[in-house]
């Protein structure tokens, strides 16, 4: 039946991890209170997975930018991302 290479195609409106793209959601708002640490870790994981090719990690990098913009207070994790 389906065959293929085993990789599932991305669904419209979802990122590579199956999360909604775009605006911050409840979990991400809660994460913002922790200074976007999880987003910073996601960038490192993505870069390691893709041999440090930044062009393959643009979605998680943009997620980090969005998270940092949403913070009311500066975060150590957001240095270099507009803070």
User: At residue 20, does pLDDT exceed 70?
Assistant: no
What is the model's pTM?
Answer: 0.58
| Cα–Cα distance, 36 to 63 (Å, whole number) | 9
As separate numbers, helices (DSSP H) first and strands (DSSP E) second, the chain gives 3, 0
| Residue 34 and residue 78 in contact, taking contact as beta carbons nearer than 8 Å | no
Q: What pLDDT score was predicted for residue 53?
A: 97
| Cα–Cα distance, 83 to 52 (Å, whole number) | 23
Q: Tell me the mean pLDDT in the region 6-35.
A: 60
Could you tell me how far CA 57 lies from the centroid of its own chain? 8
Q: What pLDDT score was predicted for residue 79?
A: 87
User: At residue 5, does pLDDT exceed 70?
Assistant: no
């Amino acid at each position: 039946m389906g065959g293929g290479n085993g990789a599932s195609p991305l669904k419209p409106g979802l990122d590579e991890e199956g999360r909604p793209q775009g605006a911050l959601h409840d979990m991400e708002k809660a994460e913002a209170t922790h200074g976007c640490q999880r987003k910073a870790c996601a960038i490192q994981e993505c870069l390691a997975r893709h041999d440090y090719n930044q062009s393959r990690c643009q979605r998680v990098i943009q997620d980090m930018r969005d998270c940092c913009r949403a913070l009311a207070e500066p975060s150590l994790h957001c240095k270099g991302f507009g803070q």
